[in-house]
């Protein structure tokens, strides 16, 4: 099946690409593309909406700002960085994608990602499900008690919250305590069996950051800073991101 050709008009200057270059160390190597296609071969979003990372980069280089900044493909990219990993020139295509997302009017961005970001801002849990610190604490303590009783071999298992001086600050996918609380237990068992000194934080315990995927810098930073501050206040040495 042949791919539809890109139709070009006169040569245009890419304001979009120049803006991204200014944000990145060494310009993100955006001018070093060899058109080898390694980025596209490893990309899980290749072919969706007739787009792939190599095509996206070439369109940016050709000044096709309007087409790129309106392409729904930018919301299909997982930001997994595979394209950067396999690229011989280490070109930072995900930054191009991120900034293309940021150019969309907020009301036009995907409702699911937008709603999850907004929910995470409702309280200090930063949970995309809106679970409060009190709700999280209740669920963790309830599930822990149940498993201690049901499985005597884990009667000493801990799932501490706000433990001062713990080595590891551990976060949690926020869907699990709300919809699948039993799914938290395998991680607790692993940490128990290896003797890890760990804790959740009642603040910033949620592991995901939908505001990052929404390309909302201000709210992305707020969520990350809430978690980092919580780990610092507890005196933890390592932030263990389970996501």
- Structure-model confidence comparison of residues 207 and 2, the more confident one: 207
Residue 10: per-residue pLDDT: 46
Give the pLDDT of residue 3: 54
Q: Which of 6, 106, 121, 125 is nearest to 55 (CA)?
A: 6
- pLDDT above 70: residue 7: no
Output Rg (C-alpha) for the chain, integer angstroms: 22
pTM over 0.85? The answer is no
175 Cβ contact partners less than 8 Å away, ≥ 6 residues apart: 128, 129
26 has pLDDT over 80: no
Q: Up-side HSE of residue 11: CA atoms within 13 Å toward CB?
A: 1
Instruction: Please answer whether residues 3 and 40 qualify as being in contact, where contact means their C-beta atoms are separated by less than 8 angstroms.
Output: no
pLDDT at 107 over 80: yes
When pLDDT is averaged across residues 164-184 and rounded to a whole number, the result is 96
Q: Is the pLDDT of residue 21 over 90?
A: no
Burial track 51-85 (b if 16+ CB lie within 10 A, e otherwise):
bbbbbbbebbebbbbeebbebebbbbbeeeebbbe
**Strand ranges of the sheet holding 198-199, from the earlier edge strand across to the other edge:** 198-199, 168-170, 238-240
In sequence order, what DSSP letters do the residues of 37-56 get, joined into one string?
Answer: -HHHHT-TTTTGGG--HHHH
Instruction: Walk me through the domains of the chain, giving residue ranges and CATH numbers.
Output: 15-104 (1.10.1060.10), 111-240 (no CATH)
What's the pLDDT tens digit per position in 65-98?
A: 888 888 999 999 998 999 999 999 888 889 889 9
* Axis-axis angle for helices 217-234, 111-120 (nearest 10): 40
Q: At what angle do helices 15-23 and 93-102 cross, to 10 degrees?
A: 110
Can you point out the beta strands (E) in the chain? 168-170, 198-199, 238-240
Three-state DSSP class for 200?
strand
Tokens 């305590």 belong to which residue?
177
Contact call for residues 215 and 99 (beta carbons, < 8 A): yes
């Amino acid at each position: 099946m042949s791919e539809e050709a890109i139709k070009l008009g006169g040569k245009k200057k890419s304001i979009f690409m120049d803006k991204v270059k200014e944000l990145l160390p060494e310009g993100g190597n955006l001018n070093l593309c060899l058109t080898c296609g390694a980025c596209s071969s490893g990309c899980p979003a290749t072919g969706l909406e007739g787009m792939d990372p190599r095509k996206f980069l070439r369109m940016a280089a050709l000044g096709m700002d309007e087409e790129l900044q309106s392409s729904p493909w930018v919301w299909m990219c997982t930001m997994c960085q595979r394209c950067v990993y396999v690229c011989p020139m280490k070109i930072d295509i995900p930054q191009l994608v991120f900034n293309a997302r940021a150019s969309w009017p907020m009301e036009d961005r995907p409702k699911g990602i937008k709603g999850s970001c907004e929910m995470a801002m409702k309280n200090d849990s930063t949970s995309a499900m809106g679970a409060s610190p009190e709700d999280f604490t209740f669920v963790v303590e309830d599930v822990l008690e149940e498993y201690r009783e049901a499985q005597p071999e884990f009667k000493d298992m801990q799932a501490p919250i706000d433990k001062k001086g713990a080595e590891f600050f551990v976060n949690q996918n926020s869907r699990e305590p709300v919809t699948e609380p039993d799914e938290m237990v395998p991680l607790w068992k692993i940490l128990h069996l290896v003797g890890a000194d760990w804790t959740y934080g009642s603040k910033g315990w949620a592991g995901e950051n939908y505001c990052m995927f929404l390309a909302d810098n201000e709210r992305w930073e707020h969520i990350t800073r809430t978690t980092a501050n919580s780990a610092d206040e507890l005196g933890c040495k390592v932030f263990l991101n389970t996501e």
